[in-house]
Amino acid sequence: MTNGSPGQALLSVQNITRSYGAQPVLREVSLTIHEGDRIGLIGRNGSGKSTLLRILAGQDAPDSGLVTRSQGLRVSLLAQVCRLDGARTVAQALEDAAEVKRSMLARYNALVITLADEALTTGEQARLREEADSLHHALDLADAWDISHELKRIAVSLALPEPERPLATLSGGELRRVDLASKLLQHPDVLLLDEPTNHIDTRSVEWIEGFLETYSGSCVLVTHDRYFLDRVVNRIVEIEFQRIYSFPGSYERFLEYKAVVEDTRARTEDNRLALIRRELAWFRRGAKARTTKQKARIGRLVDVQEEGPPPLHREFIFEIPEPGPLGKTILESRELGFRYGDRWLFKGFNLLMKKEMRVGILGPNGSGKTTLLRVLMGLEEATRGRIVRGDNVEFLYVDQGHEDVKPTETILDFVSGGAKYVEVNKKRIYIPAYLEKFLFDKSSVMMPVGNLSGGERNRLDMVKKLLHGGNFLVLDEPTNDLDLYTLRVLEETIEAFDGCALIVSHDRYFLNRLCTHMPIFEPDNTLCTLDHRLAEAG
């Protein structure tokens, strides 16, 4: 991580504005990326983070303002939507990504051979040697001397699918990891990563952290992983109310800065209101605008009133319909096992759920975490073992798959099939009012879902699933694409939930805060259950 004064400016946006229809997302925003920058870009869902990354990458243009890039600058963007050709295989996609490195290496090797020619003039030798030295430096920075080794290292570290598989046959998580690998292999001067830790297991996340810590280029990343932010970034840039605010240091330092900023805003507003009260009292005592001083004083009162308070975020909650009570027996598994073909995903798993237990399930991708959830709920049959479920248990399952929606489908159609009222636990719920608690205005229920950001769509999908109610939460990767504020609200909701919870997540901070027990998938397909926090378990 680079400390001290910033390096050379590589990429900047100056006073850019970007709107979608009549709705401005970014307004006169300026940002400069320097050599050595590790920028954590944060902000609420829909604040314009992905829009700014697309503009920086040259994939979108601002309505106004200026974008400046250094000559020959190479920029790569890991977007939320994969743009790789589905007809290519995993191996072909990685080879495509490494093409620039291969071209550099081939040119360098050709120069070495040419420089051995004794017939070259002194001037030709000097010119070719300068090019060779420059390429040698670039190959060092890109770690491009052994490309085949680099391909294998990244494929193993990110647990990529088999090389011969076509991209069109991959799951969303598998495709995401291949897309990330392709961007890392390109080794651009500026690497833009939009939620790089989504669908990545803990071991791979830690590898990415180490990769970025020693990365020779600059990077801007959007992520909800607070440990990731703390370890990798040296600057936090927040988009708030269509503006940008830059804070030096880690995410923990940012929180300290933010607390001071918020405190200053609050004191400034208190002073403004106190001034209004004093001036109004003076005015009501019969002040007349007869002298220049009195006119100025009345003018100042008008200005301060018109200035208004600082903008405030609307608060929201993840409201879950009131659950029914759990009985004495909740959920118990005995020597539970599940085999897929010739492979055991897990075996010998014992669990006794008690009231207020929150169990976080850890393990690498493909280890069987989602299958375990489905077996425990009775959606899939166990290969061996026994499960006892209480008669009063009502599972509230929020899976990680997002339903396909037509971009033209309205919010109301998506959530309730167009109905304004639904009945949950014998209670009638008015959907527009329910949605408003999740920051979807009553007036927006007829808005097309296609107008929402990725994070807003994820929040809407969660709203729909939470609406079904239940007394036993089952959450499979609930944190993907949620902003940091929404994550805090979700954490508080789960902590206050009067029931039990099973949670699969790669977000280490999220699990540490919430879970009382943590089954961990071991290499021998058994699950080791811990009754303390991940941080304490090491």
Model confidence over 392-407: pLDDT tens digits? Answer: 999 999 887 666 667 7
* 443 pLDDT above the threshold of 50: yes
| pLDDT tens digit sequence for 139-168 | 777 677 778 888 888 999 988 999 999 999
Distance (Å, whole) CA 252 – CA 150: 33
| Higher local confidence (pLDDT), 275 or 10 | 10
Per-residue pLDDT, averaged over 11-16, amounts to 95
- The pLDDT-based confidence of 535 (bands split at 50, 70, 90) is very low
pLDDT at 538 over 50: no
HSE toward the beta carbon, residue 460, CA cutoff 13 A: 31
Residue 58 clears pLDDT 90, i.e. is over it: yes
Rounded CA-CA distance 327/113 in Å is 79
Residue type (1 letter), 29? V
The pLDDT tens digits for 475-508 are 998 887 778 888 888 888 888 888 899 999 888 8
Q: How far is residue 118's CA from residue 95's CA, in Å, rounded to a whole number?
A: 36
Residue with tokens 């991209």: 167
- As a whole number, mean pLDDT of residues 301-307 equals 69
Band of pLDDT at residue 288, cut at 50, 70 and 90: low
pLDDT by residue (tens digit) across 98-133? 887 878 788 888 888 888 887 788 888 888 888 888
Q: Angle CA(414)–CA(418)–CA(424) in degrees, nearest 5?
A: 85
pLDDT of 291: 62
pTM exceeds cut of 0.95: no
Say if CB 486 and CB 328 are below 8 A apart. no
Q: What is the CB-side half-sphere exposure of residue 48 using CA atoms within 13 A?
A: 25
The pLDDT, as a whole number, for residue 13 is 95
> What are the φ/ψ torsions at residue 460 (nearest 5 degrees)?
-65, -40
Position 293 scores a pLDDT of 67
Residue 537 confidence class, pLDDT cut points 50, 70, 90: very low
Q: How far apart are CA 272 and CA 42, in angstroms?
A: 29
pLDDT of residue 536: 39
Edge to edge, what strands does the sheet with 384-389 contain?
Answer: 343-353, 331-340, 384-389
Report how far Cα 107 is from the mean position of its chain's Cα atoms.
Answer: 38
Residue 519 confidence (pLDDT) above 80: no
> In degrees to the nearest 10, what's the CA dihedral of 445, 451, 453, 456?
10
Tell me the per-residue pLDDT of 410-421, one tens digit each, with 9 for 90 and over.
988 888 888 888
Q: Look at residue 92 in the predicted model and tell me its pLDDT.
A: 93
DSSP string, 326-368: P-S--EEEEEEEEEETTEEEEEEEEEEE-TT-EEEEB--TTSS
Please tell me the least confidently modeled range out of 76-85, 182-191, 459-468.
Answer: 459-468
Amino acid residing at 97: A
Query: What are the residues facing 102 on neighbouring strands?
Result: none
Quick one: pLDDT at residue 87?
A: 92
Q: Give the pLDDT of residue 236.
A: 94
- Mean pLDDT for all residues in the chain: 84
Mean per-residue pLDDT, 230-239: 92
Distance, in Å, from the CA atom of 449 to the CA atom of 114, rounded to the nearest integer, reads 59
Q: What are phi and psi of 248, to 5 degrees?
A: -75, 150
pLDDT at residue number 59: 94
Q: Which residue has the higher pLDDT, 377 or 118?
A: 377
Exposure b/e, 390-425, CB count within 10 A at least 16 = b = beebebbbbbbeeeebeeeebbbbbbbeeeeebeee
526 has a pLDDT exceeding 70: no
Once rounded to an integer, what is the mean pLDDT over residues 319-341?
88
